[in-house]
């Protein structure tokens, strides 16, 4: 497996730090958009390469707000998406991690009800509690559409973009809805269950039709993530690792070693599968030394701790298995 990481912001200090802690692959994380220009895309690539970082993954990719809800302009947005896929392939990006939630917030409708909950040692983390959802949680002016219409929009989108992704050498890796519940805040969300991902994978057998296996989100569905990663493995080029404690309707995000997901077992399964894709730390609690200037869950100190823990798991499993040969 190959460890990747987000740098938020992607300034010199953060990029130098990633290289110093042994990260070779970077995730360009921008939940808003990517530029419609090969030169601008190439500029990102050159910037990361200056620090010895391989730009492997783009999250969230080009804008898809009109595509998701089937609004006027979806055709133009799809054509633009296809164009940008070509640009990404030319600079060596291998994965676009996208979600298909209604794009009604700066974080594309990832919903939490609190961001000031304390976890181990008073570190600050986020919580989702369905009972606390109200009109003020995520106000928006979007008209709801039927669930099956949203499925039609996703199928139309994939039918259009997967040939372009194949030609560019890019895999389109769908991220689960976060949290995987529907409807929320008056809008349907369709990547909300394991069955939904079975349906998405059935839409096309192309290797470009893939999954961002978010451990936290699939744990939120109540699934056995160790079993599930084995079932979905051929379609998983990219894994997000975070841990949670709670139920689908009421959970908090925890440190990776302090939640209910058995991450040592998950890493053992990844080794059983000879997983050779990319893996990154996902949301992490904010430590006392964190200045709190990054988006919630993306403070560099918390990510450094989490990466160290995950690399430790990886090294321990490799050594244990080598000793048994």
Is 5's pLDDT higher than 80? yes
Q: Do the beta carbons of residue 243 and residue 258 sit within 8 Å?
A: yes
β-partners of residue 211 are 174
pLDDT at residue number 271: 96
Helix, strand counts (H, E) of the chain = 10, 12
Question: What is the fold of 2-324?
Answer: TIM Barrel (3.20.20)
pLDDT of 176 reads 98
Residues 16-37 have pLDDT tens digits of 999 999 999 999 998 779 999 9
The answer on pLDDT for 308 being more than 80 is yes
DSSP for 301-315, please give it. Answer: HHHHHHHHHHHHHHH
Name the phi and psi angles at 280, rounded to 5: -140, 155
- Domain assignments of the chain as residue spans, ordered by start: 2-324
For residues 25-54, one letter each, b for 16 or more C-beta atoms within 10 angstroms of the residue's C-beta and e for the rest, the string is bbbbbebeebeeeeeebeebbebbeebebb
pLDDT given at position 9: 87
pLDDT score for 53: 98
- Tell me the pairing of strands 114-118 and 95-98: unpaired
User: Rounded to whole angstroms, how far apart are CA atoms 239 and 262?
Assistant: 15
- β-pairing, 250-254 vs 124-129, is antiparallel
Identify each DSSP E strand in 191-288 by its residue range. Answer: 209-214, 238-241, 243-247, 250-254, 278-281
> Which pLDDT tens digit goes with each residue over 202-238?
999 999 999 999 999 999 999 999 999 999 999 999 9
Q: Give the model confidence (pLDDT) of 170-181 as tens digits.
A: 999 999 999 999
For 193, the token pair is 């269950």
Report the C-alpha gap between 263 and 158 in whole angstroms: 32
The pLDDT tens digits for 155-196 are: 999 999 999 999 999 999 999 999 999 999 999 999 999 999
């Amino acid at each position: 497996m190959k460890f990747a990481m987000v740098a938020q912001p992607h300034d010199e200090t953060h990029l130098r730090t990633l290289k110093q802690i042994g990260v070779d692959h970077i995730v360009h994380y921008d939940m808003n958009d990517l530029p419609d220009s090969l030169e601008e895309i190439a500029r990102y690539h050159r910037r990361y390469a200056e620090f010895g970082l391989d730009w492997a993954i783009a999250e969230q990719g080009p804008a898809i707000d009109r595509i998701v809800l089937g609004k006027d302009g979806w055709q133009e947005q799809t054509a633009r998406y296809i164009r940008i896929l070509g640009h990404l392939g030319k600079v060596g990006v291998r994965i676009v991690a996208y979600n298909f939630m209604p794009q009604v917030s700066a974080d594309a409708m990832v919903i939490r009800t609190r961001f000031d909950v304390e976890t181990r040692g008073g570190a600050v983390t986020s919580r989702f509690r369905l009972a606390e959802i109200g009109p003020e949680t995520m106000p928006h002016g979007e008209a709801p559409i039927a669930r099956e219409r949203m499925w039609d929009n996703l199928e139309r989108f994939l039918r259009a973009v997967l040939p372009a992704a194949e030609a560019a050498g890019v895999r389109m890796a769908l991220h689960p809805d976060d949290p995987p519940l529907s409807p929320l805040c008056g809008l349907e969300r369709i990547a909300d269950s394991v069955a939904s991902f079975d349906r998405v994978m059935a839409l096309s057998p192309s290797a470009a039709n893939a999954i961002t296996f978010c451990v936290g989100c699939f744990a939120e569905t109540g699934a056995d993530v160790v079993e599930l990663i084995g079932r979905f493995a051929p379609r998983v080029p990219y894994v997000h690792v975070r841990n949670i404690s709670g139920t689908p309707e009421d959970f908090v995000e925890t440190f990776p070693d302090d939640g209910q997901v058995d991450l040592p077992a998950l890493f053992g399964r990844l080794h059983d599968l000879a997983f050779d894709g990319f893996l990154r730390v996902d949301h992490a609690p904010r430590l006392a030394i964190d200045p709190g200037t990054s988006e919630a869950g993306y403070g560099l100190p918390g990510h450094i701790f989490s990466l160290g823990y995950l690399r430790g798991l990886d090294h321990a499993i490799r050594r244990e298995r080598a000793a048994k040969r």
